[in-house]
Every structure is written in structure tokens, then in C-alpha cells.
Amino acid sequence: DAKTTQPPSMDCAEGRAANLPCNHSTISGNEYVYWYRQIHSQGPQYIIHGLKNNETNEMASLIITEDRKSSTLILPHATLRDTAVYYCIVRVAIYYGGATNKLIFGTGTLLAVQP
């Protein structure tokens, strides 16, 4: 699976959009981009994933560049409860026999939402 690069930390004002970048320059054509977050001491929580189209759900939006070498997770209106470590992960599709669905986590970005 391709490696990812994220900034170690970011700040965001409460109520503003938080834009978290991720570089994955060695991503392969069949690898998806996943985002998880981990609020202090809790288990990681799935946020969103995508292949090449932009995706949006009730939690966030995922913008993937046309060359798929980078992506941005957008939290449209950050709250104090969004303070967490955000992990960007790329991995192969899990629809094939033998695929394990395992995810390799890096160290992520610590997003601090300021009041």
C-alpha cells in the first residue's frame, strides 16, 4: 500500500472550515484514500473514503486531485469536538478474494480546534 504524508499538527478556529491535506504521490490506480480520526484515547473512527471522485457525507468532504497524488479532508464547520488526530490512509480495494482489508496507520495530523 502507498505511503502518505501529513502535517503533524494544524489549528483551526471554531466554526471555520478545517482543511487537512494528505500527500500520496505513489498511489496506485486501484488504491482508495481513507480518512479516520481518533479522539483522545478512543478507538479510531471512520470518516470517509474515495477513489477518484470527490465524496461528501454527513461528517466531511473529501477532495482528491485529478492526478490522485494528494487529497484534502474538509470539515465544513469545525467544532471543539472535532479536535482529534486525523489519519489519511491509502489501500487497495477490498473486493477481491484474499484481500485482507487491513489498514496501515501513520502518525496522522493533530487538529486543534480553538474557541
Partner 1 sequence: NAGVTQTPKFRVLKTGQSMTLLCAQDMNHEYMYWYRQDPGMGLRLIHYSVGEGTTAKGEVPDGYNVSRLKKQNFLLGLESAAPSQTSVYFCASSYRGTGNTGELFFGEGSRLTVL
- Binding residues for partner 1, rule: CB under 8 A, are 32, 34, 36, 41-46, 49, 87, 91, 93-95, 100-108
In the complex, the smallest distance separating the C-beta of residue 99 from partner 1, rounded to whole angstroms, is 8
CB nearer to partner 1: give 41 or 115: 41
Q: For the chain, first and last CA: distance in Å?
A: 37
CB of 101 to partner 1, least distance (A): 5
Please state the closest distance from residue 44 (CB atom) to partner 1, in A. 5
Q: State which amino acid sits at residue 95.
A: Y
- What are the φ and ψ backbone dihedral angles of 21, each rounded to 5 degrees? -90, 155
Contact criterion met (CB below 8 Å) for 3 and 22: no
